[in-house]
Amino acid sequence: MRSNLNTWTVLSILFVVLILLPSLSIILQFSAETNENWDHIKEYMLDTYIVNSVILILFVGFFSAIIGSSLAWLISAYDFPLRGFFQWGLILPLAIPPYIGAYTYHGILNYTGVIQTTLRNQWDVTVNQQYFNIMNMPGAIFIFLIFLFPYVFTITKAFLARQSTSLVENARILGTSSWRIYFKIVLPIARASIVAGVSLVILEVLNDYGVVKYYGIKTFTTAIFQTWFGLGDLGSAIKLSGTLMLLILGLIILERILRGRKRFSFTTTKVTLLQPVKLKGSSKWLAFSYCMFVFTIAFIIPFTQLVYWAFLTYNQGFSTEFLRVIGNTVFVAFAAAAMITIMAVVIGNISRLNRGLIAKVFPKVTILGYSIPGAVIAVGIVSLFISIDEVIYQWGWASSYILSTSIVMLIFAYIVRYLAVAYNSIESGFERIGIHFTEASRMLGNNVTKSFFKVDVKLIRGAIFGGFILAFIDILKELPLTLILRPFNFETLATNAFNYATNEMIQQAAIPSILIICISALSIYFFHYVLERE
């Protein structure tokens, strides 16, 4: 049994070391001496950037917690029209990359957009631009919120559906009102899930470059890019990244401290699904309208606009090359997401069973890659792979550089970057089941591995699939890493869409964007269907 636990430990240590390597190269450079650029950054840039970043994450974090958890609660606990559809439909906004969403909403609202054009051409009304301007801080908050809240929604829903049953049903029997249940029971017990979701949202926001660049908001990420590219100073850029990393680690540690020793796990012998209560009368339509409203602004409106643009350009944007691009995209996303999921499960399981240092350190390591801007990670990874290649080359194992020109480097980068996404989902799955079932299984003579496959996997199946889907979709949308690390002639849908969008040819970006959305939507639906049927 000991040796069995060791296998898991060894594997997870191996994974953690792998993940650490690229971050290490950044950490090493973090302590380098400061130069005059650094003084310039401190004097003119840092304050604004920190303030803007903090405003963004506070607002987006707060509202995504509210929207995500309330939707998750409604759908887990009640039955109303189209509930079955909303269960997965409300994850769909995640399929739209925020920068595409940002371009799209700007496209709808701006002077040549559908609203103003219709007003002008049909009714001869010219509006004050100010009221239609989305390219500002509130606009950016709106964009991040509507395209990222599904992180909170998915993780919280997976938790509520299986875990809140006894508490919620007891409360119902005692006649507690649903608002009261939401605030007094759901929010406290689902806190870990909500926080897990919100932390993903915040990390995505901190890492975003596309939205904030286009909307002209100076954040930490724009500062990193400005320093690196504008001042040509990678050293100072890495210093900024390091500061960002520290900030994020601080946030995570703070959250853990606040949560304290509370570990919500239940010892009921069977996990029962929460039975949704049928809503009647006006509350039925209220619930429906709320879900429909969110779905409309977060998916239908931007998607319809993209379809319209696709119609304008389909004759020039579509070719057989495209099929290969689609193949590339799906393949790398699938392979990387599968590996990420397995690694997350292994690390999550060992951290759960081990109460020592591993339990404290490993989960934080998984998030490292997620806390550094993609482009900076890319540089760390290129350096790493080239040094490995040099060794291979010098030992005569290959006649030229192999790894750094291959797709392996790209997939590895995805793993470093998106492990956190799957890990958060899987960790909250593990937290939900606690270790009582595993302990029972161990007492009955099963070893860790056997208990894992016989007991744990079945209990956290939803969380594992959830983690896989989130990672898969993130990789479909991923940009900076793909742009810089892909092999020759290797295009993905995201790079394709981005190239058009940056050239201010948003109409041409519509077709690849729609394909990203459709593939993500299909995978969301597929996994949802599989889960539901079981």
Partner 1 sequence: MYKKILFYSFLVLSMLVLAACGNDSSNEDKSPSEDEASGEDEVNLYTSRHYDIDGELYKQFEEETGVKVNVIEGSADELIERMKREGEQTADLFYTADAGRLHRAKEQELLQSVDSDVLNENIPEKLTDADKQWFGLTKRARVIVYHKDRVDPSELSTYENLADSKWEDRILIRSSENIYNQSLLASFIELDGRDEAKAWAEGVVDNMAREPQGGDRDQAKGVAAGVGDIAVMNTYYLGGMLNSDDKEEVKVAKQLGVFFPNQDTTGTHVNVSGIGVTKHAENKENAVKLVEFLSSEDVQKQFASANYEYPVNPNVEPAQTLKKWGDFKEQDINLSILGENNPEAVKIFNEVNWK
The residue (of 115 and 286) whose beta carbon lies closer to partner 1 is 115
The residue (of 314 and 526) whose beta carbon lies closer to partner 1 is 314
- 3-state secondary structure string across 95-148: HCCHHHHHHHHHHHHCCCCHHHHHHHHHHCCCCCHHHHCCCCHHHHHHHHHHHH
To partner 1, the closest distance from the beta carbon of 330 in angstroms equals 12
The residue (of 417 and 486) whose beta carbon lies closer to partner 1 is 486
To partner 1, the closest distance from the beta carbon of 332 in angstroms equals 8
To partner 1, the closest distance from the beta carbon of 507 in angstroms equals 6
Q: How many CA atoms lie within 13 A of 457 on its CB side?
A: 11
To partner 1, the closest distance from the beta carbon of 423 in angstroms equals 17
The residue (of 15 and 80) whose beta carbon lies closer to partner 1 is 15
C-alpha torsion angle, residues 330, 331, 334, 338 (rounded to 10)? 180
Q: What is the CA radius of gyration of the chain?
A: 24
**How far is 21 from 196, CA to CA, in rounded Å?**
25
To partner 1, the closest distance from the beta carbon of 272 in angstroms equals 26
C-alpha torsion angle, residues 435, 441, 446, 448 (rounded to 10)? -10
To partner 1, the closest distance from the beta carbon of 74 in angstroms equals 36
Question: Residues 395, 389: contact at Cβ < 8 Å?
Answer: no
The residue (of 7 and 29) whose beta carbon lies closer to partner 1 is 7
To partner 1, the closest distance from the beta carbon of 252 in angstroms equals 28
The residue (of 170 and 503) whose beta carbon lies closer to partner 1 is 503
DSSP string across 256-297: HHHHTT-------SS--PPPPEEP-HHHHHHHHHHHHHHHII
Identify the bridge partners of residue 520 per DSSP, sorted by sequence position: none
To partner 1, the closest distance from the beta carbon of 437 in angstroms equals 16
The residue (of 251 and 403) whose beta carbon lies closer to partner 1 is 403
Question: Residues 527, 465: contact at Cβ < 8 Å?
Answer: yes
The residue (of 159 and 225) whose beta carbon lies closer to partner 1 is 225
The residue (of 133 and 243) whose beta carbon lies closer to partner 1 is 133
Helices (H), 31-97: 36-40, 46-77, 83-89
The residue (of 130 and 282) whose beta carbon lies closer to partner 1 is 130
Question: Residues 178, 77: contact at Cβ < 8 Å?
Answer: yes
To partner 1, the closest distance from the beta carbon of 12 in angstroms equals 12
The residue (of 90 and 244) whose beta carbon lies closer to partner 1 is 244
Q: How far is CA 339 from the centre of its chain?
A: 16
To partner 1, the closest distance from the beta carbon of 135 in angstroms equals 4
Q: Which two tokens stand for residue 108?
A: 């709808």
To partner 1, the closest distance from the beta carbon of 200 in angstroms equals 24
Q: How far is CA 185 from the centre of its chain?
A: 26
DSSP 405: G
Name the nearest CA neighbour of 517 among 503, 497, 532.
497
Q: How far is CA 508 from the centre of its chain?
A: 26
**How far is 90 from 176, CA to CA, in rounded Å?**
27
Residues 6+ apart with CB under 8 A from 139: 105, 133, 215
**How far is 297 from 292, CA to CA, in rounded Å?**
9
